[in-house]
A and B are shown apart, each in its own frame.
Chain A
Amino acid sequence: GAGVSQSPRYKVAKRGQDVALRCDPISGHVSLFWYQQALGQGPEFLTYFQNEAQLDKSGLPSDRFFAERPEGSVSTLKIQRTQQEDSAVYLCASSLRESTDTQYFGPGTRLTVL
């Protein structure tokens, strides 16, 4: 079946621009996570949704970062006034309702801020 998909795969932004990154989780998956992966590092948690509710946003680095999942399926991560330090791969993962913790990752969006 279809896995987690993300778009765009690559995004180049000029410093100060706003960007929006999209995640389509596996159909029926209740939980959705966003991670940021800097070059050569492990993913770092940004935020978590259970259905449409954002239950944890403790990892968002600043108030320039905003995420939403209004209908409990597709999610968008928005970064306002991008800075060079925002350059990274943004990974989305989803997890099924039942008592499994397995998170399935999307291919990521590579954001480069010039």
Chain B
Amino acid sequence: GENVEQHPSTLSVQEGDSAVIKCTYSDSASNYFPWYKQELGKRPQLIIDIRSNVGEKKDQRIAVTLNKTAKHFSLHITETQPEDSAVYFCAASLGNFNKFYFGSGTKLNVKP
């Protein structure tokens, strides 16, 4: 089955700096890659997703890039704010309502 690895496990940045979280996947058939933000004790919330037919997607301060050849994808957050502090999970899926395989999470701390 699919194996998703996520790095780093913790990331601390100063407010206003950029943050980058990287994930790799093993199954070349995976074609849908969502990113979720989970605050302590709360549900995972989708923040951005990308499908395998595009290489990059942007939504305000958040962007995701995908390299299908290398089988890795990254989350980029610019101009970080304290409210960005949370655990971020990447996931990979075969699409078509298939299950998600999640990474182990990155705890992002944005220091004011």
The interface of chain A, by Cβ under 8 A from chain B, is 3-4, 30-31, 33, 35, 40-45, 48, 50, 56, 59, 91, 95, 101-108
The answer for the CA separation of A40 and B6 in the assembled complex, in Å, is 13
Q: Using Cβ atoms and an 8 Å threshold, which residues of chain B touch A3?
A: 43
- Tell me whether A103 and B100 are in contact (CB under 8 A): yes
Give B83-108 as 1s and 0s: 1 = Cβ < 8 Å from A's Cβ atoms.
00000010101011111111111000
Within the complex, what minimum Cβ distance (angstroms) separates B79 from chain A? 26
Q: Using Cβ atoms and an 8 Å threshold, which residues of chain A touch B105?
A: 40-42
Q: Using Cβ atoms and an 8 Å threshold, which residues of chain A touch B97?
A: 30-31, 48, 50, 95, 101
Name the one of B6, B42, B95, B102 contacting A44, with C-beta atoms under 8 angstroms.
B102
Total residues of chain B contacting the partner, CB 8 A? 25
Would you list 27 pairs from A and B whose C-beta atoms are within 8 A, ordered by A residue?
Answer: A33-B99, A35-B100, A35-B102, A40-B105, A41-B104, A42-B89, A42-B102, A43-B100, A45-B99, A45-B100, A45-B101, A48-B99, A50-B97, A56-B99, A59-B99, A91-B43, A91-B44, A101-B34, A101-B49, A101-B95, A101-B97, A102-B46, A103-B34, A103-B100, A105-B43, A105-B45, A108-B43
- Tell me whether A43 and B34 are in contact (CB under 8 A): no
Using A42-B102, A48-B97 as known contacts, list a sample of 20 further A-B pairs with CB atoms less than 8 Å apart, ordered by residue number in A.
A4-B43, A30-B97, A41-B104, A41-B105, A42-B104, A43-B44, A45-B100, A45-B101, A48-B99, A50-B97, A56-B99, A59-B99, A91-B43, A101-B34, A101-B49, A101-B93, A101-B96, A102-B46, A104-B46, A107-B42
The answer for the CA separation of A42 and B102 in the assembled complex, in Å, is 6
Q: Using Cβ atoms and an 8 Å threshold, which residues of chain A touch B4?
A: 42
Q: Using Cβ atoms and an 8 Å threshold, which residues of chain A touch B95?
A: 101
CB nearest neighbor in B for A43: B102
The answer for the CA separation of A44 and B105 in the assembled complex, in Å, is 12
The answer for the CA separation of A74 and B45 in the assembled complex, in Å, is 21
Q: Using Cβ atoms and an 8 Å threshold, which residues of chain B touch A48?
A: 97, 99
- Tell me whether B89 and A102 are in contact (CB under 8 A): no
